[in-house]
């Protein structure tokens, strides 16, 4: 089982440059050639033999039932986080699991009514991710020093699952790209935003990719309430740029039932701490040096961290 769909890639003209977004672009012309849409095949990962793993493909489907109410924010932080830590420890056999943060997704951006994103239990934006991206790159490492202050390698992982009971994930499933199929030179760095709190978005540096026929995209159709998709977001152990992260996006499956329920998912991000690292500062500097700080227009980017100055939250979150 496979289907074709159009995905949003970075335009080839942006190769080697920092890619602006709607907040950092000074003129519409800077955004005009930032992205393009290409037709790709999304394959059923359930048919892969052997099944993909974190170490081979960068993603892995596991069975991890939970009886918790994942729409209760306090339950998630106090009871589900320990479940996630145990799951990551068992899958990665890491030294320790640290950190923790989560977001919810329940609707389309720019839509109203039943299709639009609704308020979430923790104030995250709730919008299905509609463009190919990777949430983390080397720019996060300094911020993660509070989580991993010791000289150890770490792997940041996303644990993605439905919060609905007795429902399959049908609407807008998550597609993930086999990290081995991405050429390092096709990876770009862009101005991104942390959508964890809809009241104020913060600057992050995201990654995108330029389309190549070598790339292999997969999804797990009809994920059950007990199935969890784990995928790599950043790994300090990997020198090749393409092996540090898994690019992903929500996709529209043309076979989805017209009356399929809206997908309501939670994603928890934690850090699997691994072996002691020698020369950490030199490695960090080498990785950060790969991040371009110049736009294709010739202008230099100052988009690294901090609140997005001209961000305007939805009306219900604005204060008088």
pTM, entire model:
0.95
> Domain for residue 315, yes or no?
no
**250: phi then psi, degrees, rounded to nearest 5:** -75, 145
pLDDT for 64 equals 98
Q: Is 196 inside a domain boundary?
A: yes
Place of tokens 């020093």: 145
- Using CA atoms, how far apart are residues 212 and 187, in angstroms rounded to an integer? 11
Do the beta carbons of residue 257 and residue 135 sit within 8 Å?
no
Looking at residue 258, its pLDDT comes to 93
Q: Which of 317, 23, 319 is nearest to 197 (CA)?
A: 317
Task: Decide if 230 is inside a domain.
Answer: yes
- 320 pLDDT exceeds 50? no
The per-residue pLDDT for range 280-316, each reduced to its tens digit, is 999 999 999 999 999 999 999 999 999 999 899 877 6
Q: 113: left (phi > 0), else alpha (psi -120 to 50), else beta?
A: left
Predicted pLDDT at 318:
56
Question: Does the residue 161 lie in any domain?
Answer: yes
Query: pLDDT digit string (tens) for 53-85?
Result: 999 999 999 999 999 999 999 999 999 999 999
Beta-bridge partners for 234: 156
Say which residue, 274 or 316, is predicted with more confidence.
274
Per-residue pLDDT, 112: 83
**d(Cα 107, Cα 171) in Å, to the nearest integer?**
10
pLDDT band at 319 (very low <50, low <70, confident <90, very high): low
317 domain-assigned: no
Q: Note whether 62 and 54 are within 8 A (CB).
A: no
Domain around 147: 2-301
**Which parts of 129-226 are beta strand (E)?**
152-162, 174-177, 187-194, 202-209, 217-219
Tell me, yes or no, whether 43 lies in a domain. yes
Whether 320 is in a domain gets the answer no
CATH number of the domain enclosing 180 = 2.60.120
Structure confidence by residue, pLDDT tens digits, 125-180? 999 998 999 989 999 998 899 999 889 999 999 999 999 999 999 999 999 999 99
Do the domain assignments include residue 186? yes
Number of domains in the chain: 1
């Amino acid at each position: 089982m496979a289907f074709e769909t159009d995905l949003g890639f970075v335009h080839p003209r942006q190769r080697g440059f920092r890619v602006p977004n709607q907040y950092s672009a000074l003129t519409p012309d800077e955004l005009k050639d930032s992205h393009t849409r290409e037709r790709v095949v999304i394959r059923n990962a359930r048919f892969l033999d052997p099944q993909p793993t974190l170490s081979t493909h960068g993603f892995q489907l596991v069975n991890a039932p939970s009886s918790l109410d994942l729409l209760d924010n306090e339950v998630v932080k106090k009871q589900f986080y320990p479940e996630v830590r145990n799951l990551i420890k068992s899958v990665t056999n890491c030294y320790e699991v640290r950190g923790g943060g989560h977001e919810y997704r329940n609707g389309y951006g720019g839509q109203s009514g039943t299709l639009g994103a609704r308020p979430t239990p923790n104030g995250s934006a709730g919008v299905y991710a509609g463009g190919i991206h990777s949430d983390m790159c080397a720019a996060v490492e300094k911020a993660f020093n509070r989580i991993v202050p010791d000289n150890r390698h770490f792997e940041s992982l996303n644990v993605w699952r439905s919060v609905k009971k007795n429902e399959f994930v049908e609407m807008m499933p998550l597609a993930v790209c086999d990290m081995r199929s991405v050429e390092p030179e096709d990876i770009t760095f862009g101005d991104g935003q942390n959508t964890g709190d809809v009241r104020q978005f913060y600057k992050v540096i995201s990654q995108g990719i330029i389309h190549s026929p070598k790339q292999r995209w997969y999804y797990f159709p009809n994920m059950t309430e007990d199935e969890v998709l784990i995928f790599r977001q950043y790994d300090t152990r990997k020198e090749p740029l393409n092996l540090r992260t898994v690019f992903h996006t929500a996709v529209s499956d043309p076979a989805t039932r017209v009356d399929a329920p809206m997908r309501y998912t939670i994603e928890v991000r934690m850090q699997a701490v691994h072996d002691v690292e020698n020369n950490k500062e030199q490695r960090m500097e080498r990785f950060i040096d790969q991040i371009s700080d110049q736009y294709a227009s010739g202008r230099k980017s100052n988009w690294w961290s901090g609140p997005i100055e001209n961000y305007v939250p939805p009306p219900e979150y604005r204060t008088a």
